[in-house]
Amino acid sequence: MSALLFFIAAIGAISGAVGVVVLRDPFYSVLALVGHLLSLSLLFLLLRAEFVAAVQVVVYAGAVMVLYVFVVAYVGDSGSSLGERLRRGAGAQIGGARLRFGSALLGGALLVELLIALLGSGLKAIEGYGASYSPGPRTYGTPAYIGNLLLTRFLLTFEVASFLLLIAAVGAVVLARRRGGLEDGSQELLTPLGLARPRGTGTMAEGVTGLAFALSHDRGGANGEREEQSEPAIVGGETPDGEGGW
Amino acid sequence: MSATTYGWLVLLFPLLGTLVIGFGFRVLPGRTAGWIATAAIGLAFLAALGALIAMQGEPPAHRELTASLWSYAVTVGVNVHVSILVDPLSVYMILIVSGISTMIHLYSISYLEEDRGFARYFAYLNFFVFSMLLLVLAGNFALLIVGWAFVGAASYLLISFWYRRSTATRAGIKAFVINVLGDAGLVLGTYFIFKHTGTLEYLGVFKAAPHVFHSGEADIVAGCLLLLVGAFAKSAQIPLHTWLPDAMEGPTPVSALIHAATMVTAGVYLIARMHVLFELAPAAQDVGAIVGAATLLIAGTIALVQTDIKRVIAYSTMSQIGYMIMGVSVGAYAAGMFHLMTHAFFKALLFMGAGSIIGAMGGEQSLEKMGGFRKAMPFTFACFVIGGLALSGIPPFSGFFSKDEILLVTAERGGWHWALYVVGYIGAFLTAIYTFRMIFRAFYGEPVAEARELESGHLHHAEHPTNPANGELEDTDVGFPGPHHTIAERALPMRIAMSFLAIGAIGAGLIQIPEVDQVVVNFLRPTFAGSPLYEPHTRDGLLVFGLILGTLLGLAGIAIAYRIWVKQPVIAVAARLRFGKLYELLWHKWYFDEAINLLIVRPAAGFGRWARDTFERIFVDGTLVGGSTGIVRAGSAAVRALQTGFLRYYAALLVLGVGALGLYFLLQS
Amino acid sequence: MSIAWYLAVSAIVFALGAIGVMTRRNPLTVLLCLELMLNGANLALIAFARMWGNGDGQILALVVMTVAACEVCIGLGMIVAIYRRSLPLDVDELRELQG
């Protein structure tokens, strides 16, 4: 039974992967990936990682892929149709068939190597089945088990991962902010303590003290401090629009 | 104070003068620089007197005193100390140098009165005197070479003093290049001597030389010949003489000091100082004697046709130095040095007079434009006559005694030296002719316009100052002579200086009258003790014969000059036409300049051109420079090709890298 | 099935993802293939966790998933920004840094 499930899941995973790589339309690739993810979660279940399987479905296939779908819907499938590529002429020939062939070769080599490494390395244990099934409230693979591990042995990892998520969230918000670009011209962010400082020379002082020494958001400035500055601006209610550059 | 302390003072005062004037020229008002410089040299002269007195206080055997200030370099094998040697020869020389220099400094204060380079001139002049004193007082070869080089440098600075004149700069470079050739000879000669003696100090070398060298051995002959190369370059002997006439581009006092009295005598001093070594290398002595005699004759013939008054005196200097070189090469050390002293007096006097008459002519130096200045410039005329008589060897003037003594000792050496004796007297005859040709042409005859102007009390000034050598127009700004000319009759410092020299020209001979007193010989004996050639055994008959012959030849020369250039100038023109080819040869100075140009200058320039066009272009620029940059450029181009910006290439590289890493670990296990 | 099979699947998925990253031109698709590679690694992790019998691999798989989520977040944000600036959405075209 498990063998059958394994093969179903394996075939699903691999075909999903193939679909992602091969399909032209990014929307179809996303769908293929979703299928792949679901197969993978089945594989996880077979490996007695119930919690991880559930997380895979809920988070990965549920949230991340939805995100992808949104973006694909927004962006569309510009720039990857065959006709356009042919029309572009010489510029589209960068790589082309040669690179496709080369990368396939490279990937194939990688595959062979990995297989040798994983399977041929003489690990006896991979011939086995691993831990046996023994049901219980806190046995291997249950959420309680994972939770216990997370909060004891892997506490730091847990905290760092959450911090990482926070950073990503902030970054995403910043990235997706509307910016006017060079053509819009820049609007000065006037402060009561404006200091004369040449444009574009953001210093650590600006970054650390926020608005106090910020004179103007101009184009081409260092992005790091700007992001720090603009956060308080938005929080404080001032939303200068049409600021320069990014 | 001991003699050597005085010696250090002699060196110190001119050096201080140079430094004070050199650094303070902006703050020194007016002509203070000149007075400071003169005072410095005057103090040096007093210190030289002090050294003389202190040294003479020692017994004769102990009159070679050395003192070392510090050790400059003590290495394996070569010890160089900054040491001076105060002995009769060097005291003799420093007295002459500082004494004549004081007079010339005094003269220069008036001569260069409104020149914009006044302070620069005196700084250079003091530096020159310092260098010459250093050369003479040096106690070892190293300091000699230093002084030698400094003197050459000072000479260059002073010859091209009016540096905006192209002729002056070219002359300065020519002098410097030939001098450097002499420097090279000097250094190489020192090497050959040092190779065997192991020391650079004079006393050590002279003590060791007879034991270390056999007479006529290859190394000592080579060393002495190379020293001779240095002496010939500095003293303007054939064939390294071509710089001296051109050096007349410098101001007249410079010519008086450097190219009459001091620097050109450095070669004579060298041979006299190294007499121990030269006596071990008879071949070198013979070469010196022959070259001296040849120069004597050739320079005399050239002087007969020169029209630039300063060049006549320059060739005369060359000729007289030839006498001196010949003298010290055949062993007439005292006579040669004696002639050096008398020559310094009357030659400097002649140059000063020439400066005066050039001032009267408003900068023009050609004899063809001069005439009849006798009434307008009596003092200058008198000085010229005194100097001319001394130069021609007429008794009782100083030149008479010194010149004949050299020729006497030459004859005493016997054998083929009789030829030199004959040459010497022919040279004396020619000397009288060209000297008085110059005097008669400048001072006798119809007064020219400038002379008439002067007679009515107005000193002629040229409307548009020109370069006397090539007639180029020049202005009187910095780098050119100033607008001011002066003559001796109007400038007291010039008259004082010239008077002192005139007294010396008249009376200096009296200290070495044969059979009567032997001041110079006795004075210099401690230096030359041990030399078998020093004490001449004067044959009285030959002595008297020589003196009479000299006088007769001198008077005959004056008479001939009088006949031709005062009475019947047409003889000169006729002679020029009749002996056309000879005249051409003499006019072109025996084609030495052309020969050197053909043999040395053109090949060197050609080699330089070849090196630049072929070697430099192909090898250095192409291969070495181009090659290395090419390699770097190719390498960086190769690396640059990796930076494509294509994400997919980077991804591929990543995968490749991971694969390689895995492969490595796979293979390892 | 022995663990080896799962590892084989993981290797295949990883290799396929690598090929996709090297081959595709649409940045969205490149990101998707990147996800593939991550999932392949996840599978291997879970398999090894099962092999050893402790939960370390599963925790790491969770962390990988977290990282993948973050990275997708930022990557998609960048793609949106690129799209908004009217630049061609093609990794071959986007090969010069500005300025």
Average pLDDT over residues A102-106: 84
Spell out the residues 6+ positions from residue A170 whose beta carbon is closer than 8 angstroms to its own: A231
B270-284 pLDDT tens trace: 999 999 999 989 999
pLDDT of residue A193: 53
pLDDT of residue A188: 56
| A202 vs B195, more confident | B195
Tell me which chain B residues have a C-beta less than 8 angstroms from the C-beta of C23.
Answer: 648
Chains with 3 or more CB pairs closer than 8 angstroms to B? A, C
What are the residues facing B138 on neighbouring strands? B84
Do residue B669 and residue A121 have CB atoms under 8 angstroms apart?
A: yes
Smallest CA-to-CA distance from B95 within B349, B351, B341 is with B341
pLDDT of residue A69: 92
pLDDT of residue A229: 42
Q: Give the pLDDT band of residue A197 (cuts 50, 70, 90).
A: low
Partner residue facing C95 (CB), from B645, B652, B655 = B645
3-state secondary structure of B530: coil
A44-83 pLDDT tens trace: 999 888 899 999 999 999 999 999 999 999 887 654 444 4
Tokens of A172: 């995403």
Do residue B648 and residue C91 have CB atoms under 8 angstroms apart?
A: yes
For chain A, say whether B662 makes contact (Cβ under 8 Å): yes
Other Cβ atoms within 10 Å of B594 Cβ, number? 11
pLDDT higher than 60, residue A92: no
Tell me which chain A residues have a C-beta less than 8 angstroms from the C-beta of B655.
Answer: 103, 106-107, 110
Tokens of B594: 């052309």
Q: Give the pLDDT band of residue B619 (cuts 50, 70, 90).
A: confident
pLDDT higher than 50, residue B576: yes
CB C80, CB A71: distance < 8 Å:
yes
pLDDT of residue B315: 93
pLDDT of residue B536: 66
CB B533, CB B414: distance < 8 Å:
no
pLDDT of residue C24: 86
Q: Which residue do the tokens 């009434």 mark?
A: B375
Do residue C23 and residue B655 have CB atoms under 8 angstroms apart?
A: no
Q: Give the pLDDT band of residue B566 (cuts 50, 70, 90).
A: confident
For chain B, say whether C31 makes contact (Cβ under 8 Å): no
Tell me which chain C residues have a C-beta less than 8 angstroms from the C-beta of B645.
Answer: 95-97
pLDDT of residue A78: 54
For chain A, say whether B655 makes contact (Cβ under 8 Å): yes
pLDDT higher than 60, residue B533: yes
Average pLDDT over residues B407-412: 85
CB B535, CB B424: distance < 8 Å:
no
Smallest CA-to-CA distance from B202 within B113, B136, B123 is with B136
pLDDT of residue A196: 60
> Which range, of A74-78, B177-181, B320-324, B664-668, averages the lowest pLDDT?
A74-78
Tokens of B584: 């051409």
The C-alpha of B636 sits at a distance from chain C's nearest C-alpha, in angstroms, of: 19
Do residue A113 and residue B662 have CB atoms under 8 angstroms apart?
A: yes
For chain A, say whether B663 makes contact (Cβ under 8 Å): yes
Partner residue facing B659 (CB), from A95, A102, A109 = A109
pLDDT of residue B362: 81
3-state secondary structure of B79: strand
B304-323 pLDDT tens trace: 988 899 999 999 999 999 99
Average pLDDT over residues B470-489: 77
Average pLDDT over residues A90-116: 73
How high does pLDDT run on average in chain C? 88
Tokens of B485: 């000319």
Which helix (H) or strand (E) element contains residue B270?
helix B266-273
Best mean pLDDT range from A85-89, A102-106, A165-169, B457-461: A165-169
Does the N-terminal peptide bond of residue B60 adopt cis geometry, omega within 30 degrees of 0? no
Sequence-distant contacts of C51-54: CB under 8 A, at least 24 apart: C51/A125, C51/A126, C51/A128, C51/A130, C51/C3, C52/A125, C52/A130, C53/A130, C53/A131, C53/A140, C54/A140
3-state secondary structure of A122: coil
pLDDT higher than 50, residue A240: no
B542-553 pLDDT tens trace: 888 888 888 999
Tell me which chain B residues have a C-beta less than 8 angstroms from the C-beta of A21.
Answer: none
pLDDT of residue C99: 42
Q: Give the pLDDT band of residue A238 (cuts 50, 70, 90).
A: very low
Q: Which residue do the tokens 């219980």 mark?
A: A136
Q: Can you tell me the distance from the alpha carbon of B257 to that of B344, in angstroms, rounded to the nearest whole number?
A: 9
Average pLDDT over residues B582-586: 86
How high does pLDDT run on average in chain B? 88
B374-399 pLDDT tens trace: 888 899 999 999 999 999 988 888 88
B57-112 pLDDT tens trace: 888 888 888 888 888 888 887 888 899 999 899 999 999 999 999 999 999 999 98
pLDDT of residue B97: 94
Best mean pLDDT range from B472-481, B637-646, C60-69: C60-69
> Which range, of A38-42, B40-44, B188-192, B576-580, averages the lowest pLDDT?
B576-580
> Which range, of A142-146, B145-149, B234-238, B567-571, averages the lowest pLDDT?
B567-571
Q: Is pTM beyond 0.80 here?
A: no
Average pLDDT over residues A130-149: 78
For chain C, say whether A129 makes contact (Cβ under 8 Å): yes
pLDDT of residue A187: 56
pLDDT of residue A206: 56
**What is the percentage of chain B residues whose pLDDT exceeds 70?**
99
pLDDT higher than 50, residue A89: no
pLDDT higher than 60, residue A234: no
The C-alpha of C91 sits at a distance from chain A's nearest C-alpha, in angstroms, of: 10
Average pLDDT over residues B108-135: 91
3-state secondary structure of A218: coil
For chain C, say whether A58 makes contact (Cβ under 8 Å): no
Average pLDDT over residues B241-269: 88
| Alpha-carbon distances of A77 from A26, A242, B101, B260, B524, rounded to whole Å | 6, 28, 101, 102, 113
Which helix (H) or strand (E) element contains residue B71?
strand B65-74
